Amino acid sequence: MNTKGNKLVMNRRDFLRAGGVATLAASMGLPSLVARAQDGDFGPSRKVFWVPQATGSWNIPIRAGHRDFCRMVGWEYQHTGDPVYSVENHVAQVNNAIAAGANVIITELENPGLTPAFQAGLDAGIAMVCIDQGVTEELDSLGLGKIGADGFNEGWNNGWQGASWANQFGRSDGVIVFGNGNPGAALIDARQAGSEQGIMDFNAENGTNFTFEAFPDSSFDADASQSIQKYGAQIDSKGDDLAGLITGGNVVPIVRALQEHGFEPGQLAAGSVDMPPAHQQLLEEGWIQWGTDQQQYLMGLFSGAAAFGVFDGYPYPSITTGEAPLLLEDLPRIQAQTAIWQAKAQAYGDTQ
């Protein structure tokens, strides 16, 4: 972009960039960002840090959304984090981003133990944007919103699908177990509560007698072996009483345990609230029957725009992204969306 006299001259790339930002800003009710996009002037550059509670390939689509927004407005971007989750590790990573001179920190507030770190960021004049999961009471006390799926609604759909598929497979009773990969985390616990309620509601409406049982499944660990063993133990201990296996996160250990115990695809109800590429493949093969699209790419894109609005005086928004169940017939659409963010991540060299 350059200027000739008082006339703004934009090349095609700048024009498309401004148009993309204007469309996004209009959808989020940010008129100042629309105006800036039309002028091609996005103000000073900002330094953005994305600090997931535990880093890993699961948040690649979020990072693609972040990078797209930062590229459109000329902001710097850095992804950091600890692959081993604990509240202490997460707090340390947020504090590191504060010390590194962040203007924007996008992260989660999955536990009240993060509140002091959020407050420290706000006190330093940093835009603290919460995505994916957050404790509502803590966010309210800080005057912040959350961008992400409603965990309880995700869970309700998860539980309903578990009971529905168990019923379709010929069961009217039995236990449906729920694996919680991070007990105590706001989002995962909400998914657990919602899953139990979904099963109970299915029973009430259909005359079935499924029961619910939760256990810590270690499904977010980098090494899946412990989670596979835990699901294997559930299969062994429940025996013929087992009607379904559902989780608040990674469904791969469920399938690995089923395979090791000689099950075939479609013998037992199984599914999750997620739908990354590995889950999509298992849905296509029939090992799982449903998933959920949380629209993680949009979480990333919206969180960048939310921070931009904060600097222009707008309040932190709360935006609910996807929580509806996905079935086999939805797979072509989800695979097409996945291909888009995967191509973006590949172009950015950000695929791990």
Helix and strand element counts for the chain (H, E) = 13, 14
DSSP string, 11-37: -HHHHHHHHHHHHHHHHTT-HHHHHHH
| φ, ψ of residue 166 in degrees (nearest 5) | -60, -40
Same-domain check for residues 168 and 252:
yes
- 58 DSSP 8-state letter: G
Per-residue pLDDT of the chain (352 residues; tens, 9 = 90+): 322 222 223 333 333 344 455 556 556 666 666 566 556 678 899 999 999 998 988 999 999 999 999 998 999 999 999 988 899 999 999 999 999 999 999 999 999 999 999 999 999 999 999 999 999 999 999 999 999 999 999 999 999 999 999 999 999 999 999 999 989 888 899 999 999 999 999 999 999 999 999 999 998 887 889 999 999 999 999 999 999 999 998 999 999 999 999 999 999 999 999 899 999 999 999 999 999 888 999 999 999 999 999 998 989 999 999 888 999 999 999 999 999 999 999 999 999 8
Q: Whose CA is closest to 200, among 213, 212, 215?
A: 212
352 lies in some domain: no
Q: Give me the number of domains the chain comprises.
A: 3
Q: Is 348 within a domain? A: no
Whether 258 is in a domain gets the answer yes
pLDDT of residue 38: 59
Taking alpha carbons only, the member of 98, 145, 126, 157 closest to residue 303 is: 145
Instruction: Tell me, yes or no, whether 107 lies in a domain.
Output: yes
Q: Are residues 138 and 212 in the same domain?
A: no
Contact in structure between 303 and 104 (CB atoms under 8 Å): no
Distances (CA, A) of 291 to 63, 143, 180, 330: 21, 32, 16, 10
pLDDT of residue 234: 97
Amino acid at 25: A
Domain shared by 128 and 155, yes or no: no
Residues 95 and 216 in one domain: no
**Residue 217: exposure state from Cβ atoms within 10 A (0-12, 13-18, ≥19):** buried
Alpha-carbon span 89 to 106, nearest angstrom: 16
Would you state the pLDDT for residue 12? 33
Give me the pLDDT at residue 6, please. Answer: 28
Residue 314 and residue 211 share a domain: no
Domain boundary residue, one of 271, 292, 313: 292
CATH of the domain at 217: 3.40.50.2300
Q: Are residues 169 and 92 in the same domain?
A: no
**The predicted structure's pLDDT at residue 184:** 86
- Whether residues 303 and 283 fall in one domain: no
29 lies in the same domain as 109: no
Residue 89 in domain? yes
Residues 88 and 184 both lie in one domain? no
Residue 266 is part of which domain span?
151-292
Question: Is residue 339 domain-resident?
Answer: no
Q: Are 235 and 198 in contact (CB under 8 A)?
A: no
Same domain as 269, residue 207 = yes
Residue 249, φ and ψ in degrees, nearest 5: -160, -115
3-state helix vs strand vs coil in the chain, percent to 5: 55, 20, 30
* Spatial distance between the Cα atoms of 24 and 125, rounded to a whole number of angstroms: 25
Classify 214 as helix, strand or coil.
strand
Q: Could you tell me if residue 331 is inside a domain? A: no
Over the range 174-190, which residues count as b (16 or more CB within 10 Å of their CB) and which as e? Answer: bbbbbbbbbeebbbbbb
| pLDDT of amino acid 30 | 60
Which pLDDT score is estimated for 142?
Answer: 98
Q: Are residues 301 and 313 both part of a single domain?
A: yes
Cβ(133)–Cβ(220) below 8 Å: no
Distance CA 17, CA 336 (A): 23
**Do 283 and 169 reside in the same domain of the chain?**
yes
In a domain, 217, yes or no: yes
